[in-house]
């Protein structure tokens, strides 16, 4: 594992400068990211990783991808940042349970941050110790409009490698300037059995 600090001065008001830990293979992937033929999607190669256990503070909501375009998500992010203030030990994380490619299908969305040991959840939040997480992962560079293509790429590669999805996924927002920015950096993780 390698530990890095990325200054995130403009994830709107949602992310602060923070340290995060990612596998060295992911860092090597940063140097080998490529634009895939026929589109503008830049990602690292997919690899399988065991992400370290973490203490996670979050709020959760029933959500659809269509609803994620509205103000409810921004409010969840802002409340999570405020609630975790002073205890944040990693980047903003979205954890999806039961999500699919269907824009209208409801799933559980957990929005929060990895937090320091001993952090207590304020009202409306939950703190849990999340065990080690085996996942297929890649880093996506660029705007949120590429997110669907990035997940298609990730699922295609994990299935080609004989991996079986576990039904949950995570996104870590490593650097954020805005939803249309070519400079955004997002770590995608799909749990595998």
Which pLDDT value is given to residue 106?
94
CB 47 within 8 Å of CB 138: yes
In this structure, what token pair is assigned to residue 193? 């059995």
Which pLDDT value is given to residue 39? Answer: 56
User: CA end-to-end span of the chain, whole Å?
Assistant: 22
**pLDDT value at 14 more than 70:** no
CA 109 – CA 21 distance, rounded (Å): 23
Does residue 17 register a pLDDT over 80?
no
Identify the pLDDT of residue 103. 82
* Phi, psi (rounded to 5 degrees) for 16: -110, 170
Asked whether the predicted pLDDT for residue 70 surpasses 50, the reply is: yes
Q: Helix (H, G, I), strand (E, B), or coil: what is residue 12?
A: coil
150 and 39 Cβ atoms separated by less than 8 Å? no
Q: Where is pLDDT greater, at 189 or 12?
A: 189
Whether 137 and 49 have beta carbons less than 8 Å apart is answered as: yes
pTM of the model: 0.80
């Amino acid at each position: 594992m390698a530990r890095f600090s990325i200054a995130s001065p403009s994830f709107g008001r949602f992310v602060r400068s923070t340290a995060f830990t990612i596998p060295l293979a992911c860092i090597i992937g940063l140097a080998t990211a490529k634009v895939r033929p026929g589109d503008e999607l830049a990602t690292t190669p997919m690899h399988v990783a065991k992400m370290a256990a973490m203490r996670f503070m979050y709020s959760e909501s029933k959500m659809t991808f269509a609803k994620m375009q509205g103000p409810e998500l921004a409010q969840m992010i802002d409340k999570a940042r405020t609630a975790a203030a002073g205890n944040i030990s990693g980047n903003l994380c979205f954890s999806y349970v039961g999500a699919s490619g269907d824009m209208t299908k409801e799933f559980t969305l957990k929005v929060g941050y990895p937090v320091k040991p001993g952090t207590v959840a304020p009202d409306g939040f939950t703190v849990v110790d999340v065990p080690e997480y085996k996942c297929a992962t890649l880093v996506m560079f660029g705007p949120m409009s590429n997110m669907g293509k990035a997940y298609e790429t990730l699922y295609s590669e994990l299935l080609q490698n004989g991996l079986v999805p576990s039904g949950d996924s995570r996104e870590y927002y490593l650097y954020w300037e805005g939803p249309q920015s070519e400079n955004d950096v997002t770590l995608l993780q799909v749990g595998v059995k």
